[in-house]
A and B are shown apart, each in its own frame.
Chain A
Amino acid sequence: MNGVEGYMYPNEITLYWSVLIVLYPYITGLVAGAFILASLERVFRVEAVKPTYRLALLTALAFLLVAPLPLVLHLGHPFRSPEMYFTPHSTSAMAMFGYVYLWYLMAVLVLEIWLDYRRDIVLLSQSSKGLLRFVYKVMTLGSSNISPRSLAIDDRVGWIVTLIGIPSAFLLHGYVGFIFGSVKANPWWSSPLMPVVFIFSAMVSGIAGVMLLYMAISKLRKQVIDMRCVDSIAMYLFYIFIIDFSLEMLDLVHRIYEANESFNSLNFMVHTQLYFSQIVLQIGLGTITPLALLFLTQVVKLPEIARKYMYVLSGSLALIGVLAMRWNVVIGGQLFSKSFLGYTTYKMSLVTREGLLVAIFLTLLPLVFLWVLIKLLPPWPEKSAHAAAD
């Protein structure tokens, strides 16, 4: 049979979970990671990363809005998806996701952004004109109270929301790992370490993503990059990356040492079909290289420009590495037969509903959303102050 080596059960020959299912944990991972970076500033009061606080929140929101799209596009009957809310089955982890998602979107992200921006929204609703004025007016929910007292309350409540938000972000992304980790018939997925690895790789991708976005947007706005901020983000990225890497290696070593009945089959797969995406991309280029670069920036005193380039390079590599990890989990888990006797291949289509073009579109869409959000809710409070000073 085409693309099949050895023996596959008939229902294993074509892959049902396509590149869109690769994208989905990637996008939710960026959400969780960006949010956790924002929480750093809020809960642990890390002043240095403050310039990225609002940007991180908006990034999280932009990506979260796109997160369900790959899933909906993957469904054969997308219009049935709301039934997950109306008649959820309590024993289905996937059905529970709908609620986790809504909770995270509304009770955490939107609420936190609203509280943080309320003062700006009220001011904007007074200064802007036309349709925009109406939009801001709606966003104030009809309350223009920005007395110091009310803002202090907002701050307090926002802090609590962030505190609740951290476990929620873990839940949102841990859940994605849980879905894979609990498939006991699939030895490539079935591991209680899966949710933990997913969360840490999510933090890596989210932090790297916001760092890159911050640098890129500063460049576009012709503003100086706050190096103190980028330096400390890079430091967090480095630490989280080490934890992530150790966990992934722990998982790997454990599999090799345990060498259960699936081992030969998986080992063969990693050395053939997954060699490029797992060994070269995920581990070599996507993890060890950026780790080494970040390590250098931590121990050697490098000039600013060199640090910038190294951050951009290691951030981009980290993003590629995490994407490769999602690919290896989702696609890798479907390439081998559960009989351990054969392998199939994944052929990505180009223009179909679940093809490459749609995947690229869905990767870019959050950036468009982010652009709109930034226009609507400028994350730089210093702007007016700067303008006044210049």
Chain B
Amino acid sequence: MSVFKDAGHLFRFAGLFVLAFLIFLVVRHYIVPKSFGQYGHYRGASIGEIAARPVKFAGHETCETCHSDEAAKKSSGKHAHVNCEACHGALASHADDPSIMPVLPDTAVLCARCHTASAAKPKGFPQVDPASHYPGTPCNTCHQPHSPGMDAGGAK
């Protein structure tokens, strides 16, 4: 049995490992949230928490119930597939209570966000260089935001 006696220090070292591992397990037990891994590699309870947050976007169907003029205009123009809130921002608060009036977007910023020329955009996508395409004049002087094509007759 003297082999065990002479290797005793090794068992102590191994014991240290086991101890560290047990501490790890205990800490892990308390630190990792209970619902972790319920559905996947994330905290299951987070779904409920996120669902409980107030909704910020109303969706274009909601806007269209009250703003049928804009909807009609848009559906016939080049922006038919651009959603209301892509330009106007999240407006659920306004849709719930129309007395909260939204701020109208600044076209110099808004239009350039999507239409500034860039090599990364598909060739077919309409793009202009804001520095040379009538700089200084608001885009909606010539384009109607809801139906921007020149064939739509320019601004109202």
Given contacts A106-B17, A111-B13, contact A87 B36 (CB under 8 A): yes
Chain B 30-73 interface residues, beta-carbon cutoff 8 Å to A: 31-32, 36-37, 41
The answer for the CA separation of A107 and B17 in the assembled complex, in Å, is: 9
Least CB separation from A148: chain B residue? B6
Interface size range of chain B in the complex: 20 to 34
The B interface is mostly helix, strand or loop, or mixed, namely helix
Q: A234 → chain B, closest Cβ, in Å?
A: 36
| Interface 1/0 per residue, B61-99 and A, CB below 8 Å | 000000000000000000000000000000000000000
Residues of A within 8 A of B27 (CB): 86
The answer for the CA separation of A157 and B7 in the assembled complex, in Å, is: 10
Residues of A within 8 A of B36 (CB): 87
Least CB separation from B120: chain A residue? A9
Q: Count residues on chain A whose CB falls below 8 Å from chain B CBs.
A: 24
Given contacts A86-B28, A141-B13, contact A153 B119 (CB under 8 A): no
Q: Report whether B6 and A143 are in contact in the complex, using a CB–CB cutoff of 8 Å.
A: no
Given contacts A85-B24, A86-B28, contact A145 B5 (CB under 8 A): yes
Residues of A within 8 A of B20 (CB): 106
Least CB separation from B24: chain A residue? A85
Partner of B41, one of A87, A154, A341: A87
The answer for the CA separation of A118 and B3 in the assembled complex, in Å, is: 17
Q: Report whether B31 and A86 are in contact in the complex, using a CB–CB cutoff of 8 Å.
A: yes
| Interface 1/0 per residue, B1-37 and A, CB below 8 Å | 0110111111011001100100010011001100011
Q: A138 → chain B, closest Cβ, in Å?
A: 11
The answer for the CA separation of A140 and B27 in the assembled complex, in Å, is: 27
Least CB separation from A151: chain B residue? B6
Least CB separation from B31: chain A residue? A86
| Interface 1/0 per residue, A58-100 and B, CB below 8 Å | 0000000000000000000000000001110100000000000
Partner of B6, one of A87, A107, A150: A150
Least CB separation from B17: chain A residue? A106
Judge whether A303 is part of the interface by a CB distance below 8 angstroms.
Answer: no
Judge whether A184 is part of the interface by a CB distance below 8 angstroms.
Answer: no
Q: Report whether B7 and A86 are in contact in the complex, using a CB–CB cutoff of 8 Å.
A: no
The answer for the CA separation of A106 and B24 in the assembled complex, in Å, is: 14
Judge whether A7 is part of the interface by a CB distance below 8 angstroms.
Answer: yes
Judge whether A117 is part of the interface by a CB distance below 8 angstroms.
Answer: no
The answer for the CA separation of A6 and B7 in the assembled complex, in Å, is: 67
| Interface 1/0 per residue, A301-341 and B, CB below 8 Å | 00000000000000000000000000000000000000101
| Interface 1/0 per residue, A96-121 and B, CB below 8 Å | 00000000001100010010001000
| Interface 1/0 per residue, A151-165 and B, CB below 8 Å | 001100100000000
Judge whether A254 is part of the interface by a CB distance below 8 angstroms.
Answer: no
Q: B8 → chain A, closest Cβ, in Å?
A: 6
Q: Report whether A114 and B7 are in contact in the complex, using a CB–CB cutoff of 8 Å.
A: no
The answer for the CA separation of A143 and B5 in the assembled complex, in Å, is: 10
The answer for the CA separation of A107 and B18 in the assembled complex, in Å, is: 12
Residues of B within 8 A of A86 (CB): 27-28, 31-32
7 A-B pairs with least C-beta separation = A143-B9, A150-B6, A141-B12, A149-B6, A7-B119, A86-B28, A153-B7
Apart from A87-B36, A145-B6, A150-B6, list 6 A-B contacts with CB within 8 A.
A85-B24, A106-B17, A106-B20, A111-B13, A141-B13, A150-B9
Q: What are 30 A-B contacts with C-beta separation under 8 Å?
A: A7-B119, A9-B120, A85-B24, A85-B28, A86-B27, A86-B28, A86-B31, A86-B32, A87-B36, A87-B37, A87-B41, A89-B41, A106-B20, A114-B13, A118-B9, A140-B9, A141-B9, A141-B16, A143-B8, A143-B12, A145-B6, A145-B8, A145-B9, A147-B6, A149-B2, A149-B6, A150-B7, A150-B8, A150-B9, A153-B10
